[in-house]
Amino acid sequence: MLKHSLLTLMLAGAVCAAAPFVVAQDNGSTPPQSAPAGAPREHGRGGHFDPAQRTERLTKELKLSSDQQSKVLDILKTAQSKMQDLRSDSSLSQDDRRSKMMDIHKASDDQIRALLDDRQQKKFDEMQSRHEQWQGHHQDGQDGSAPPPQQ
C-alpha cells in the first residue's frame, strides 16, 4: 500500500512539474485569439499598422467625422496592402524595402492630412512630431519606454 501511494505521489509530482512546459509550448504555437484567421500580424506595440485600430485612435484624437473615418480607413487599408506586398518581395534589399515602406507611410499620412480641417491638421502634425521624437530616441537607444499615444 505504501509503495502504491508513493508511486501515485511521484506521478502526480511529475505531472505538476511538466505542466508549465506543456502550457508554455502550447501558447507559443497558438495564434492570438484576437486576430481573425488569415489576418496580418500586427507590427510593433499598440497595433500601429492595424487600419481599424489606427482609424479608431485617429477618430478619438482628431474627432473625425464618419465620412473622414471611412476615407482614413480606406487609405490605411491600401497602405497596409502595399506594405504586405513589399514584405513579400524578396528581390529588394532590406534598405530598399525600408525606404519604400517609409514612402508608403508618408504618402498615406499625406493623404490623411489632406482630409483634415485646419484644427485637425495642427493636432495631426503634433501627433506626428511626438511619434518622430519617440522614434529618434528609441533608435538611438536613449529611451526604452513605450511611444506616446498617437496616430
> For residue range 115-144, what is the model confidence (pLDDT) as tens digits?
999 999 999 999 988 888 887 766 655 444
91 located within any domain: yes
Closest CA to 128 of 101, 109, 108: 109
Q: What is the pLDDT of residue 134?
A: 81
Rounded to whole angstroms, the Cα distance separating 22 from 37 reads: 24
Question: What is the b/e burial string over 32-60, where b = at least 16 CB atoms within 10 angstroms of the residue's CB?
Answer: eeeeeeeeeeeeeeebbbbbeebbbbbbe
Domain of 132 in residue numbering reads as 46-140
108 located within any domain: yes
Contact at 8 Å (CB) between 104 and 96?
no
For CA atoms 133, 134, 137, 143, give the dihedral sign: positive
Q: Which of 7-11, 49-53, 71-75, 147-151 has the highest mean pLDDT?
A: 71-75
Q: What is the largest CA-CA distance in the chain?
A: 84
pLDDT band at 2 (very low <50, low <70, confident <90, very high): low
38 located within any domain: no
> Which comes out higher in pLDDT, residue 88 or 18?
88
Model confidence at 36: pLDDT above 50: no
How many domains, the chain? 1
Enter the pTM of the model. 0.59
Rounded to whole angstroms, the Cα distance separating 129 from 124 reads: 9
Model confidence at 90: pLDDT above 70: yes
Rounded to whole angstroms, the Cα distance separating 102 from 96 reads: 10
7 located within any domain: no
